[in-house]
Amino acid sequence: MIKIGLTGNIGSGKTTVCKILETLNVPVFYADVEAKKLYKRRDVVEQLVKKFGRIVLNENDLIDFKMLASLIFSDRKALEFVTNLIHPLVFQVYNEWLNRWEKEPVTVHESAILFENHLQHHFDKTVVVACPKEIRLKRLLERDKISQEMILQRMKNQWPDEQKENAADYVIMNDGSVFLIPQVLTLLENLKGSSSVS
């Protein structure tokens, strides 16, 4: 099995690429989706309340993601605390998930902050979905209905596009200038050609 780490900055179109991969029968693990599930665990909630206070809870005593985001994206140490709490748990879930797909030739682990959290050594190859900042910003303003200030704050916590592209083994361009599906097909061919995968 070739384990792929797929990443890209906010608004780059990672999910779109992953949906294409799934259509091609490649299993995809969505780290951000699994991370969100972990915030429902009692032990995780208790640790977050201990760190930040009950301000991070909504009226139902569940994690208020907007409040938590406003706290961690403006405070690097707070972001590191949450990252160090959540990411080891995500990888426990990922390793269990891998066991279910052990006979597959290729699996994909999608994570927004793969390089920032130095996770690349967990994978055989890394792929970046790239898109210029201006296009990403426009997409996010239309999609998420949050302020430009909040989007830019989140962008600050991610590596610049060029740095990610230089660190990755493969780059998929999603700026509208090149069709995505042929790029994904070429990626899979290259991956299979670089191993004994049949």
Rounded to the nearest 10 degrees, what angle do helices 133-144 and 148-156 cross at? Answer: 130
CA angle (71 as vertex; 58, 46 as ends), nearest 5: 50
Rounded to two decimals, what is the model's pTM?
0.82
C-alpha to C-alpha distance for 180 and 16, rounded to whole angstroms: 9
Residue 17 is predicted with a pLDDT of 95
User: Is-contact 3 58, C-beta < 8 A?
Assistant: no
Helix (H, G, I), strand (E, B) or coil at 101: coil
* Other Cβ atoms within 10 Å of 173 Cβ, number: 18
User: What is the per-residue pLDDT across 84-131, written as a single tens digit (0 to 9) for each?
Assistant: 999 899 999 999 999 999 899 999 999 988 998 888 999 999 999 998
Mean pLDDT by 10 residues, the chain (198 residues): 92 91 96 91 93 90 89 85 91 94 94 88 94 80 70 74 92 90 94 62
Q: Which domains does the chain show, CATH number per domain? A: 1-27+106-188 (3.40.50.300), 36-100 (3.40.50.300)
What is the rounded distance in angstroms from the CA atom of residue 64 to the CA atom of residue 151?
18
